[in-house]
Amino acid sequence: MEASVSGAGRFRRQQSTHDRGRTAEADGVRWLEEQGFEVIARNVRTKAGELDVVGLDGDTLAFVEIKARSTRQFGPAATAVPPSKQQRIARAAALYLTRHPHPGPCRLDVLAMDMGAAGWSFHWIRNAFEAR
């Protein structure tokens, strides 16, 4: 699912990459909620790493990695989750499930956000990768 939303000016005015990341993540969460996604937790820390967003898409528990790019200089945001990062996310999701079991299906998603002249372009990749 793709969509575009304004916000370019606010994002580009941020001074630090940390602030830009927080702004982009907040915009991404807001967009997910507009799509009917129910956020359960954000920035969940585990021994394996951090989960950006945990929530429900219907009865499916989804672990969503949010990646944002302000330019295409290093490629689109969707390419910014290499196999090593995928493994960390999968391990963190498994640890989350040991403490918070879910009776239904689970999946690993990526919300790729690329900044354009008109604002964010969102690309929600459901089942972006498999746990290994």
Tokens of 118: 């008109």
Report whether 109 contacts 127 (CB < 8 A). Answer: yes
Tell me the torsion sign for CA atoms 30, 34, 35, 41: positive
Tell me the torsion sign for CA atoms 77, 80, 83, 89: negative
In a domain, 72, yes or no: yes
Return d(Cα 67, Cα 81) in angstroms, integer.
8
In a domain, 34, yes or no: yes
Confidence of residue 2 (pLDDT cuts 50, 70, 90): low
Per-residue model confidence as pLDDT tens digits over 71-128: 878 888 988 999 999 999 999 999 999 999 999 999 999 999 999 888 999 999 999 9
Report whether 52 contacts 42 (CB < 8 A). Answer: yes
In a domain, 18, yes or no: no
- Residues in Cβ contact with 119 at an 8 Å cutoff, skipping those fewer than 6 apart: 4, 5, 6, 7, 8
In a domain, 17, yes or no: no
Give the number of domains in the chain: 1
CATH code assigned at 79:
3.40.1350.10
Find where tokens 């956000």 sit: 113
In a domain, 1, yes or no: no
Task: Write out the residue range of the structural domain in which residue 60 sits.
Answer: 24-125
Section 12-37 average pLDDT: 85
pLDDT of residue 129: 94
In a domain, 6, yes or no: no
